Every structure is written in structure tokens, then in C-alpha cells.
Structure 1
């Protein structure tokens, strides 16, 4: 048996390593453009007194389709950033994205600054939705002639010479359609947005991070509704009922945490929201993981195989929620609490 297994490994090695073909769904762009045409991208700004309303819209889109949510969240985040920093780089409307990942192996350098205009060279990784959008806000770093220890936010047009997309590295099955591709810049033009370091230091940075948790929550509620509907229509099953009870408890705690965080942000719009947001992201992440497990065990294979929306959400959500950095985020939360000295956990 062992010898046969080794033979199979060798015979099927190339098959096992075959690449997943990169995909791009033009219907995503059409759906996003429809949202813009109907004004559905004009959300209340974070900290404006209607943060919960903003998060409710993100949750709604997340419950419809997470690939669309990825475009929608990036676009609405970009609009909020531009408003917060008082910039309007391009007059023509379009779909925006925000790309601020900074892996050590991929960095874009800015040089030859003339006023707000800079020249861009290098590779930007994790550029979600680049195949469907028009403009992006990206973080870049000073070239040899302008060294900075803080990233500079730059607005770029994606249809210009010197910008190329490489989708070959994207092998995901979940979140396949809004591929987080690599972008290569070769003497491309960008416009500086705000001062160096403004992207990370503004209050909206952490406030926006709470919106991601709302999107996680929205996708989980959509899966939960499938279970609820099945229990209303299906035969008596105490095990499935127990799964539904566990799902409801998880959703109740996560929704309460999201509302509390949104109210705190609106009450303290200029304060650092990091602690509040890291708490709510941890709470919602744990709830979502429980919900995915309980819904799957209760419903079995049928919706994964025969319900297209459920199947997409079920495969997309585990990938999308990895925007969390798991134990690293929890460690940062613990460090924040440690530095506070004491914490009041009383009711």
C-alpha cells in the first residue's frame, strides 16, 4: 500500500500542482458601476454621527456577495479618505480602490516630485479588484532623492502607460473574482494625497477597520438566514435547532459589539479608535468562525452544492476573514490593554 501511494504521488504530481486559472468577472464591474450610478456609494463618513448606518450598508453588501463587497468597501473607503484629507485628484468619476499592503518583497518607490506629482516604480502586491477598477490610492515610499520613514499616499490612474497587472500569482478559489493581483509600475505618474504618514495617522484609519468587521458580519448573517429558513420549513431536528441557537447567540454578541463600537466612534470622532476596533474585529471574527461551523454542520452538503449564492459566500468568507491577522491581532490587543494598566470589565 505504501509503495502504491508513493507511485500515485509521482504519477499525479503535475496534476496536483496545476495552477488555478485567474478569473475576472465583468459582472462585478457592472454591479459596482450600478451602485455608483444610483448613489449607493455615498455613505456617511466614519465618525460623522452615522457610523452604524455606514456599517449597515457594508454588512448588506457583504451578505449579497463578498467579491462585490471587496470592490464596494475599497471604493467607499477611498472616497472617505479623500474627503478626510481634503483632496479630489481626478474630476472624472470611476471605481476606486485602496492598496496599502507592504510586504518586504514588494515596494513602490516615488521619485522626481514636482508639486504633488511623482514618478512611481516598483511592484505593489495584494491589489484587490485591480482588473475591475479605474483609480487607486496606494502607499509608496521615497526614492533615493527623498527618504521618508512613513508611507506616502498616492492616487494613480490604472489605465495609464507604465502600469501593468500580473494576475498569475493569484491562485485562490475563495475570493477568486476580485483577484488580489500584483501591479507593476514603470515610471508611472501619481499624485500625492496629504502629507507623508497621513494615511496611517488620521482617525479614519482605525475607524475604517471597523467597517471590515461589519462586512464579515453581513456575510455570516446571510449564511445564518439559510439555516433559519431551513429550520422553519424542515422536519423537526433538535440537533439542527441547537446549531441555530448557537448561531443566534454568536450573532447577538457580534451585533452588540459592532453597535457599541460605532457609537463610541461617533462620540469620539477625533480620538484613536484602535482599541475599540481591534476589540470588535476580534469579537466578530470569533463569531463568524462559529457561525460557519454550525451552519455547515446543520445544513450538510446541499446548499454548498446547489445554492449559488450560499456556495460563493461559504467559500469566499474563510478567505475574506483572513484580513484579520489572527493571533498577531490578538497579541496587539493584549499589548494595548497591558499599557493601559487597568481595565474596567464590570457591567
Structure 2
């Protein structure tokens, strides 16, 4: 399997090449082990640029490279880096928030909502809040040190909070996770009983900030990188033996899809750094890029399966894991429902998009 980094730019315009090669090697060594992914995340937190810093392209290339090597590495690191970006946008220093003299913290972001699960926040003093209830889809809650968590401050509003996950009143329900994809990153519900929390921003700030859209595009960069990893296996197969017309057709179709998605990601990085991805513009950009990449991933999974047949799924552990991991990861995009949301956004704008 290729261990080359993944690039969004042409060879003459690439930056930090040696650093990205080191990241690729470290991610390959993760091999589905969440503990290794957490250690890698700590390392990357000090060196990977934040979105909107003028180096968003490098951030997206880093995320894509992680995913091409190992999707567990990408899934864990993306959340850690996103949390650091959120704290940076809120002008909060993570070192001050968790100044306990221990190991450098590992972060998650728990902002999903689900039927039958509700986390409620109540104020108990100046900058002092307590959390009660259940939060769904909390990845690695039993292994992380801290998380940024959204909770309801009223029936219609939510706010973001910092929580130390070592609190004995927190119960991570890892026993409910049965996913064959990303098995090392259980993402079950977490129960909170009278947990101390510190607010980050005002009510609604988490969703209103420009970085919400940028973080969503960062996740798409991970999906795209995972698809590149699958396509590379197809590339290797056409070099191993003389391909027929069908194999070449699959290869060409993979190139068309991946190149189009790569162009969208590179353009999104440029728009973010140029200050052209805030507000409604940023939300629309994120919806388009995430949708295009998600559809590309679905096509790549299908094409790779048709091109390679059952053998790699049965006898190549890395490939089989990558397929299962990517199938689960990309379902963070809600397929036709997110397509419909994009259509609704376009219609409500009243302006022809083309």
C-alpha cells in the first residue's frame, strides 16, 4: 500500500512536504489503534494550522493524508484539532482551561442530537454550570480527557461547554457500540449526572461561528482522503497485471470523481483564507463541498469493489478495514436529506445558483 501523503495542489505548489510525509508514516502506524491515534493527535495539535489562518490548505491536506493512511487516525485527530480550533475562535487557551500539570489533554467535540436523548445545562453561579442528561454519538468518551459538548439551556437554545470526562458522574455507554467500521472509536451515548461545565461562547455561538462550516469541510477532507486510500488499491491492481477495458474504465471514473472533489476542497480552503466563507456563504460552501465529497466516496466504494472483486475484502486486512471504516464515517453526511437541505437553502435564497 502506498504511504505517500495526499495533496490538494500540483507538485510545484506543495508546502511542508517533509512534515506531511512524517504525518503519513505516523498515521499508517496507527493501524486502527485508538490509543496510538490519541498520541498522534497530541503531536499534531501543536503543529497543524487552524482553519482561516492562511494555511487552511495544509490543514485539509493533513486530514486527507491521515485518512488515506488510516481512518481511525483521521477520525480521532480531526475531532481533537476541531476542538482546538473552536477554543482558539473563542479566545480560550486550552492550557489554562485544564491546567492540572498532568498529561496534555485529548479533546473531542460532542454536538450531535438524537431522539430520546437530551442534555440540559443549568447555571449555578458566575461562569458555573451543571449538566444532566444523555448525549448521543460521543466518540471515544471513555478514552478522552476533555470534550466540548453542546447542551440545552432552554427548550430552543443550546450552548457549548468544556467538560472534564474523568468526572465520576459521567458514564460512557461503550457497550452499545456494535459498528464493524471504526471499531476502535466507539461512539455511543454518554450519561451525565450533575457534571460541572464551563461555557464557551454565548447561546447559539457554536453553530453561528464561521468555523462551524469550516470544520464540516475538514471532515469532508477526511472522507476524501479515505476514498483516495481505496482508489490507490485499484491503481496498484492495474499495475500488478494487464488490465482489461473494464478495469481501465473503473480507473478513469475514479480519477474523474476524486479530481473533481479535490478541486472543490482546494477551492474551499482558498475561500476560507480569503474571508469569503463566512455566514450564509460559508454554510452554502460547506453543504456543497460535503455533498460532492460524500457522493464521490459512495462512488469510489462501489467502483473499487467492482474493480477489485472479493479478494481484498477477504484477505487484505487493511483494505477490508478501510472499506468498513469509510462506509460508516461518510454516513455523517445524511445523503438525500442533506441534498434536500441544500436544495431548500438554494430555494430560500431566491437567487439562481447557476
**TM-score category, normalised to shorter length:** 0.7 to 0.9
> For the structure 1 residues 333 and 165, does the alpha-carbon distance in structure 2 shift closer, same or farther, using more than 3 Å as the test?
same
Secondary structure of the equivalent of 1:149?
coil
Q: Pick the structure with greater CA Rg.
A: 1
> For the structure 1 residues 340 and 141, does the alpha-carbon distance in structure 2 shift closer, same or farther, using more than 3 Å as the test?
closer
2:306 aligned with 1:297, yes or no? yes
| Structure-1 residue corresponding to 2:247 | 240
> For the structure 1 residues 87 and 230, does the alpha-carbon distance in structure 2 shift closer, same or farther, using more than 3 Å as the test?
same
What is the rounded CA distance, in whole Å, between the counterparts of 2:203 and 2:155 in structure 1?
A: 8
Provide structure 1 residue ranges, at least 5 long, that are not aligned to the other structure.
Answer: 1-24
The partner residue of 2:222 within 193, 201, 215 is 215
The partner residue of 1:129 within 140, 157, 160 is 140
What is the rounded CA distance, in whole Å, between the counterparts of 1:98 and 1:331 in structure 2?
A: 26
- State the Cα distance separating 1:132 from its structure 2 match: 2.2
| Structure-1 residue corresponding to 2:322 | 313
TM-score calculated relative to the size of structure 2: 0.85
- State the Cα distance separating 1:31 from its structure 2 match: 3.2
Q: Is the contact made by 2:32 and 2:73 (CA closer than 8 Å) also made in structure 1?
A: no
TM-score calculated relative to the size of structure 1: 0.86
| Structure-1 residue corresponding to 2:196 | 189
Alignment of 1:71-220 (within 5 A): 71-88=76-93, 89-92=97-100, 93-142=104-153, 147=154, 149-220=156-227
> For the structure 1 residues 181 and 283, does the alpha-carbon distance in structure 2 shift closer, same or farther, using more than 3 Å as the test?
same
Secondary structure of the equivalent of 2:224?
helix
| Structure-1 residue corresponding to 2:263 | 256
> For the structure 1 residues 71 and 236, does the alpha-carbon distance in structure 2 shift closer, same or farther, using more than 3 Å as the test?
closer
- State the Cα distance separating 1:269 from its structure 2 match: 5.5
Alignment of 1:54-73 (within 5 A): 54-73=59-78
- State the Cα distance separating 1:32 from its structure 2 match: 2.0
Count of aligned positions: 316
| Structure-2 residue corresponding to 1:4 | none
Q: Is the contact made by 1:99 and 1:136 (CA closer than 8 Å) also made in structure 2?
A: yes
What is the rounded CA distance, in whole Å, between the counterparts of 1:333 and 1:344 in structure 2?
A: 11
What is the rounded CA distance, in whole Å, between the counterparts of 1:323 and 1:54 in structure 2?
A: 20
Q: Is the contact made by 2:37 and 2:77 (CA closer than 8 Å) also made in structure 1?
A: no
Q: Is the contact made by 1:228 and 1:244 (CA closer than 8 Å) also made in structure 2?
A: yes
Runs of 4+ residues deviating >6 angstroms: none
Q: Is the contact made by 2:70 and 2:322 (CA closer than 8 Å) also made in structure 1?
A: yes
Q: Is the contact made by 2:32 and 2:72 (CA closer than 8 Å) also made in structure 1?
A: no
What is the rounded CA distance, in whole Å, between the counterparts of 2:72 and 2:254 in structure 1?
A: 24
